[in-house]
């Protein structure tokens, strides 16, 4: 497992060690001891989620607030997404900055999104299977979000605006400011 530090503190790209031969491949998708040793971050995942989407779907930017905040370890089992994490920690030196990483069933990369971040992704291929682990349970009363097209963030979602498909809720999210 290789840990790649992004420009945002505690937000990591994880490149698993892949063992491949004529039968296919194997990799360890998560090992708590290795993760904690390599990142210095202690996390206890309690909930796994999956989503299936087609090209053009944009989900986010979402977060959980307060005691219900969530850290996430996200990956793609099939297909491809552009995964985005935005630092919304008020006292952070990188507040309002983001990282964007292409995750796919082919590259096997993962993104660790710490608590205090908004998270979203755009789907770049049909039949994409998205998987993520959370370190806290979902709480509807604690949910929040930031509008995907906030000019302050200026995120290139790698999908033309005309092709984007958003939920009604995501279309109404507020700006970061």
Which positions are catalytic?
A: 62, 132
Neighbour order of strands in the sheet with 117-123: 98-104, 80-87, 117-123, 58-64, 143-145
What is the C-alpha separation between 87 and 85, in angstroms, rounded?
Answer: 7
Residue among 62, 87, 73, 63 nearest 166 (CA): 62
In this structure, are residues 7 and 94 in contact, taking their beta carbons and an 8 Å threshold? yes
DSSP assignment string, 39-62: H-------EEEEEEE-TTBEEEEE
Report the SS3 class of residue 159.
Answer: coil
């Amino acid at each position: 497992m290789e840990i790649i530090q992004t420009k945002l503190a505690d937000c990591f790209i994880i490149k698993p060690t892949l063992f491949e031969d004529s039968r296919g491949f194997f990799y360890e998708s998560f090992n708590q001891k290795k993760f904690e040793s390599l990142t210095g971050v202690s996390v206890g995942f309690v909930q796994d989620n999956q989503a299936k989407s087609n090209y053009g779907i944009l989900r986010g930017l979402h977060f959980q607030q307060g005691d219900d905040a969530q850290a996430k370890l996200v990956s793609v089992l099939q297909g491809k997404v552009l995964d985005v994490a935005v630092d919304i920690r008020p006292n952070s030196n990188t507040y309002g900055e983001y990282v964007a990483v292409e995750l796919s069933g082919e590259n096997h990369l993962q993104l660790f999104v710490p608590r205090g971040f908004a998270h979203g992704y755009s789907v770049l291929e049909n039949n994409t299977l998205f998987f993520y682990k959370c370190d806290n349970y979902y709480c509807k009363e604690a949910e929040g979000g930031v509008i995907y097209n906030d000019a302050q963030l200026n995120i290139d979602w790698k999908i033309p605006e005309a092709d984007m498909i958003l939920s009604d809720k995501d279309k109404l999210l507020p700006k970061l400011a």
